[in-house]
Structure 1
Amino acid sequence: MIAQKKVEIVINKPYLKKILEFLEKQGVKGYTVIEDALGLGERGLMRGDEITDTFKNSYIFTVCDEETANRIAKDIVPYLKKYGGVCIISDVLYVVH
């Protein structure tokens, strides 16, 4: 196992492409996206039954080294201020296979 950082981002679906481009510029080699993420947050309940994608969320996660995670944490702030959303970074153990 290797100690890594897990970066989790929830963003409005219309801005998903911008955040994925941002992650790739940060050196992220892979990620997982779950579209139409449901939950309760600052904007209220996201039930997933909206007519358009404007108010739907996407959940993105990636695993990376600490240096990359720190860079993401610093550089994503303007995106979150402009587009909303959240970014959470935690310690994980990556199972090498």
Structure 2
Amino acid sequence: MEAIKKVEIVTNSLELPKVLDILEKIGVSGYTVIEDVTGKGDRGRVFNDLETHTLTNGYIMSVCTQAQEQELVTEIEPILKKFGGVCIVSDAKWIAH
């Protein structure tokens, strides 16, 4: 197994393309996106019962190397400060296939 960093990002759905561009830019090889996630954070509750997609959140899960971690966090931070959300980075192990 290989030591990696697991990255979980929740942000405004309108910002998902920017976040995915950041992942591509730093060389992250893959990701999973779940749209219309709900929950509660420092900006209140987010519901998925709206007619428009613009006020919903999306969830991105990916992995990166330790070398990519700091660049990813630096690039994501301005988006989170402006639009809210969260970025969680944790240690993980990858089973190479």
**With structure 2 as the length reference, what TM-score do the two structures score?**
0.90
Alignment correspondent of 2:86: 86
Amino acid aligned to 2:50? E
In the TM superposition, residue 61 of structure 1 has moved relative to its aligned partner by 1.1
Structure 2 unaligned spans of 5+: none
Q: CA RMSD in A?
A: 1.2
Deviations 1:33-64 (A, max 9, x none): 00011111122222211121121110001111
Is 1:54 aligned to 2:48, yes or no? no
Alignment correspondent of 1:5: 5
Amino acid aligned to 1:37? V
In the TM superposition, residue 84 of structure 1 has moved relative to its aligned partner by 2.1
Alignment correspondent of 1:43: 43
Checking the alignment, whether the CA contact within 8 Å between 2:15 and 2:79 is kept in structure 1 is no
**With structure 1 as the length reference, what TM-score do the two structures score?**
0.90
Structure 1 unaligned spans of 5+: none
Alignment correspondent of 2:64: 64
Amino acid aligned to 1:29? S
Amino acid aligned to 1:92? A
CA–CA distance in 1 between the matches of 2:59 and 2:74? 19
Q: Alignment partner of 2:49: what SS?
A: coil
Deviations 1:42-91 (A, max 9, x none): 22222211121121110001111101112111222222222322111000
CA–CA distance in 2 between the matches of 1:84 and 1:43? 7
CA–CA distance in 1 between the matches of 2:4 and 2:10? 20
After TM superposition, the structure 1 stretch with the greater mean CA deviation from structure 2, 43-52 or 22-31, is 43-52
Aligned length: 97
